[in-house]
Chains A and B, each alone.
Chain A
């Protein structure tokens, strides 16, 4: 994707977001009392203003994008294995979801140990032993600090509880 395509894609995206907000998002997800005396005092005024401006900026991006040079220079550095990269990104999304789900259930310490180890292997670390050691030690040290020094109630989960 070159700069021109990127700019036009962004512009179209911004226009669509602006239109979606004006036609559906704000009417359905922002509530306003019926007795507001003036529109500028309404809770709807600010979101509508932002949505309108988003659409305008989108139009600006399209106009300036179409006027830009249509060269072949990619805007992002290419990687050797884009297919595997997408799989890794999907795995990262799953890892985040699992970590978020697991934190209140098995405890933040155990969930973050798993997240550390999984991420280290996802990024193909060259130091697996150090990674595993850190995966155990870093969450434990952070737990000790936050729970016992900063008095933060770190979620302990339902199974193994730490002192």
Chain B
């Protein structure tokens, strides 16, 4: 079948009202799910999965993809408005989105988040269509040493989100790495800091740590200084994102989209590291780097481009190799199987109409996301106008339900409370929370891949430099560390 025939077959499959309605409903469910802290895009996809069983395969899968894409954008809404990321992928959006909301530019931040999300989504979908086979075969060459080198390079992101002091950022990251060691050792199954408590054997729940670190300190801060917010504006504001803003951030959006595409095509990385890496790169390259972390619109654009760039790319290994790129695509692979489809190279031969139908649906999804997202921003507008001393108890209760719902475990609520106090103390001592979170995400991946590589080589470190992929990432790491060291020394030499 020629390319033209394949595209026509795809059009025949999705060129109907039901297919677009499924996609549209999926995006609405995703945006709402992503906007409620604790639901997350993953949970929204899992909740929607059973509803797709009686549907046509293409419609059901489009609905789930709509939920996925809507969920990743939806997470930015509470991240910007109430400093509580709806999904882990939106953690980086807080860094500049919330300071913008605090000075009355929530509408502008949300608008940029939407535009950046839609652009990144489109780039990600086009990349999926153009590079599915090539990128998937590249990602297939990744073993533990390559992953270790990639994770090590990803840890250099910390320098970009450390704020005023690199050492305080490093301390924060080390605390995150330390907390990530809690639980059973993955190689030998022995206890590490579990104190005999079975609840700690699986490690600390990521969502509980994330919400505890970012949302609860805001509540505690309000208790410490109940009138501290008076005089500080917190509303959508009359300022809206302009084309000039978009144009100014366009390079960061495109760069972030490709970072998302690259990391998304490698199984197991996920959207959160992509968002942080994109943010860090935008900060490094921006002429306004001093404003990053204080409410820079380019920071919002970069974070959202990074996490949305992942959404289409995670389908590359899924469709080309049958390997899910992240948790959400692992759920979506279930939908394929329920409908008697087996993602992988053979699907490009046996079900080429479905492959091209999905590609066409995904291209339209970016436009639908723009429509649904614009309505959602206005729909969630009242959140910005709620008095803060009513909003904070709402946030507390929402966090309790959200964290509990992830694992149906009250222990996680306790972890969230404890992490809230850790986050509060960190904020009083000006220790940035973002490096903690990045290290907490990357720590287990770094350690596992390091130890797997060592097991493979019998303890010889030479395996960590075994091929061009590892050399590439090691070189990037060295260049970045040298650049960071030079920057820090130059800053220290500056008078005043």
Contacts and interface: CB of A to CB of B under 8 A. Distances in A.
A93 B425 CA distance: 13
B181 A76 contact: no
Contacts of A61: 167-168, 171
Contacts of B188: 32-33, 36, 43
Contact of A108 (B177, B223, B404, B447): B404
Interface residues on A, range: 35 or more
A104 B421 CA distance: 22
Contacts of B224: 79, 85, 88-89
Contacts of B394: 116, 134, 138
A111 B421 CA distance: 20
Contacts of B194: 29
A110 to B, nearest CB: 12
A29 B224 CA distance: 34
Interface residues of B, number: 60
A54 B178 contact: yes
Contact of A43 (B190, B389, B396): B190
Nearest to B400: A112
Given A104-B410, A123-B392, A125-B387, A40 B459 contact: yes
Nearest to A124: B226
A54 B396 contact: no
Contacts of A79: 224-225, 228
Interface string A100-136: 1001100010001001110110111111001100110
B428 interface: yes
A150 B428 contact: no
Interface in B172-202: 174-175, 177-178, 181, 185, 187-188, 190-195
Interface string A8-41: 0110001000000100010001111100111011
A112 B451 contact: no
A89 B220 CA distance: 7
Given A57-B170, A134-B390, A134-B393, A50 B178 contact: yes
Interface in A38-91: 38, 40-41, 43, 46-47, 50-51, 53-54, 57-58, 60-61, 64, 75-77, 79, 85, 88-89, 91
A40 B361 CA distance: 49
Contact of B167 (A47, A57, A143, A150): A57
Given A41-B187, A54-B178, A115 B396 contact: yes
A79 B389 CA distance: 17
Given A119-B392, A146-B401, A30 B193 contact: yes
Contacts of A50: 174, 177-178, 181
Nearest to B388: A123
Contacts of A32: 185, 188, 190
Contacts of A99: 400
A147 B394 CA distance: 18
A47 B182 CA distance: 10
Contacts of B396: 115-116, 119
A162 interface: no
B223 A122 contact: yes
Nearest to A41: B454
Nearest to A97: B417
B193 A89 contact: no
B144 to A, nearest CB: 13
A21 B177 CA distance: 14
Given A38-B459, A135-B393, A150-B405, A33 B226 contact: no
Given A41-B455, A85-B224, A154 B397 contact: no
B104 to A, nearest CB: 20
Given A57-B170, A64-B167, A130-B390, 4 more contacts: A89-B220, A91-B223, A112-B401, A116-B397
Top 4 A-B pairs, shortest CB-CB distance: A43-B185, A38-B459, A125-B389, A119-B393
11 contacts: A29-B191, A29-B195, A33-B188, A37-B459, A79-B225, A88-B226, A99-B400, A104-B410, A115-B397, A138-B394, A146-B401
